[in-house]
Structure 1
Amino acid sequence: MKKLLIAPLAAAALAVTGLVPSASGAATAKGDDMATVAATAKCKSLTALSTVHVRKSASTRSTSLRLWYKGTKGCDIKGVDGGSYKNTCGIDSYHYWRKVNYRGTVGYVPNVCVKYS
């Protein structure tokens, strides 16, 4: 009886994470997540220049998902144009953001707050 419950639970867990089983049985990403997974696999390392919020979208009004602490490393996914930010990481005003993966959280940080390492 327990064996019958494992397959539906595994499928539900994969669906929640955005992964779907392929014909070979391996889990693969679907849709826009595929580009994120591929980009993270070819990670360009970034270091935070100061402690900064990783946000849900490229805007200072967006929800903060977590803090990225000064001196720690994360992965660069891509650059994006977004909402303006002022007085951030020593820059008066700018609007370019980085889509990043920091310790499993994918979100956006102001471009001027990170550097390639």
Structure 2
Amino acid sequence: MNPSKLELLLQQQMKLIQMLADAKLTSNPQPSSSNPTTTAPSVDGIANSISEFHYDPESNVTFDMQFRRYEDLFKFDFTNQDDAWKVRLLLRKLDPSELDSVSKQLSVT
């Protein structure tokens, strides 16, 4: 093979390598510094996002309204948690006066 044909073949191979490298970069971008296969948020993290409940019927802040706000969390995100766990979570989110009221209602006399 003469040197000019060899040079042409080398240039064609370099173009092909560059084209393949460019195609690889555009079809499969470099992963960012964050993990692209991020796992779902933890149950504790989701539970911490629930705000404390302060009963105020004049402002329509009722337990029913509070529960509706977070109902999807209990149905979908906490689906693997048993009902007792869900009740304990709800009780932890009551303000002290509401917790006292519920505790009195639940106490066995």
TM-score (norm 2): 0.21
Larger Rg computed on CA atoms:
2
Which one has more relative contact order, counting CA pairs under 8 Å at least 6 apart? 2
Structure with bigger strand share is 1
TM-score (norm 1): 0.20
Structure with bigger helix share is 2
